[in-house]
Amino acid sequence: MSRGRELFSLVGPKHLTTIDWNDYSHRRSVSSSLVKGVYERERDRQVELRGGSETLAPQWWEFFNFKLVNELVDEDDESIFGAIFEYVFPSATNPGPGYVIAFRGTLWKLETWKRDLESDFATILNTLHQTSRVRTAMKYVEDRVSKAGSSKVWLTGHSLGAAIAMLAGKNMAKRGKILESFLFNPPYASFPIETIFKDHKNVIRRLQRTTTVIKGCVVLALGYSGDEDSFAAISGWKPRLFVNNRDFICRGYIEHFKKRRKSDDFGVWGLISRHSLRNIVMKELKIMDVEISEPLHLLPSANLIENLSPSEESISPHKLRHWWKPDLNLRCTLYNYE
């Protein structure tokens, strides 16, 4: 076995010998395992490029009776960043998804790190939608939904892959197609006040108030309306965001939605919740020549799921493997846009 590879037989959710698709813990475990399958499929490809024949990826989907029907390939470095899996044995009483489209995150390997890192920066700059990966993802998602129907297609992804899945989900929601979505450790592309000053709660509160006041003044002064029609158009889509408070990459969603709930989505506070101060400044000053999209975290609705289980010191809180474990201590909060 290649160094650093994770065998399904050693770390996978082998307890799921029977899947109840009505049980959301089963859905979570299977969805995260399929994303892991994409990671391992790209690792298999890299082994093959070096003359090897190791294939460890299939165990991550075949155990749950899925088959690989398409690989999503980056046109620049030819890496596999996504995959479409078909569920083989649906039943009338326990149908499950028809297809699951899964996207991996950053893979720190020689063959992929450069292209993955470019996509990570695009996420921070809100230009990810212009990358070839997202264009490829959109094409495959649109095609699969047109053939199978939106109720039969699920989206899932981890980290950078969650960002790609989020853009695809938003795109389909604007067309009235609501896809079941499981997004693990999605990147929160905003200034991490809570992370930098995590031991200084008074500083955090003052900075949050100052940022809110500045944003409100800018929004009103420049006449931004909040594009409420666009915001409401995707409000029926409620992706499941799986976050960990100890993970600085995704923890911003927790505070973001708490502030959203306090603002009740009305008046100037409602306008603020639909805008990014950084985006406004970049657009007004024309800092970038490319079209900037709204940040990923500006979601009208979401089901926020926090992992409250005790931390494992040897495993980073950003790791995907946390999410397929049984009996997690989770706090689920549904945020609906009214």
Query: The tokens 């959301």 sit on which residue?
Result: 24
> pLDDT value at position 46?
94
pTM, two decimals, is 0.85
Partners of residue 333 on adjacent β-strands: 304
Q: What is the CATH number of the domain that holds 83?
A: 3.40.50
Residue 296: what pLDDT?
80
Inside any domain, residue 198: no
Domain that holds residue 93: 8-191+233-263+293-335
pLDDT score at 116: 95
Q: Distance between CA atoms of 44 and 53, rounded to whole angstroms?
A: 8
Query: What string of pLDDT tens digits covers the 338 residues of the chain?
Result: 455 688 999 999 999 999 999 999 999 999 999 999 999 999 999 999 988 888 999 999 999 999 999 999 999 999 999 999 999 988 888 899 999 999 999 999 888 999 999 999 999 888 899 999 999 999 999 999 999 999 999 999 999 999 999 999 999 999 999 999 999 999 997 655 555 545 555 655 565 555 555 555 555 555 555 455 667 789 899 999 999 999 999 998 998 888 766 554 444 445 555 555 455 455 544 555 555 566 787 888 999 999 999 888 778 999 999 999 998 999 999 998 87
**Residue that is written with structure tokens 């989907």 in the block:** 61
Of the candidates 41, 67, 57, 157, the residue with the CA atom closest to the CA atom of residue 104? 157
Residue 279 belongs to some domain of the structure? no
Whether residue 301 is contained in a domain is answered as yes
**272 occurs within a structural domain:** no
Residue 202 counted as domain residue: no
Residue 211 lies in a domain: no
**pLDDT of amino acid 273:** 54
297 assigned to some structural domain: yes
For the chain, the domain total comes to: 1
CA–CA separation, 91 vs 77, rounded Å? 39
246: tokens are 């100890």
Task: Please give the backbone phi and psi of residue 333, each rounded to the nearest 5 degrees, phi first.
Answer: -130, 125
DSSP string, 17-47: SS--TT-HHHHHHHHHHHHHHHHHHHHHHHH
User: Which residues have CB under 8 Å from 81's CB, separation 6+?
Assistant: 38, 42, 72, 73, 74, 103, 104, 133, 161, 164
Q: Which of 265, 81, 75 shows the shortest CA–CA distance to 159?
A: 81
Within a domain: residue 209? no
- Residues 57 and 66: beta-carbon distance below 8 Å: no
d(CA 32, CA 55) in angstroms, rounded, equals 19
The identity of residue 246, as a single letter, is R
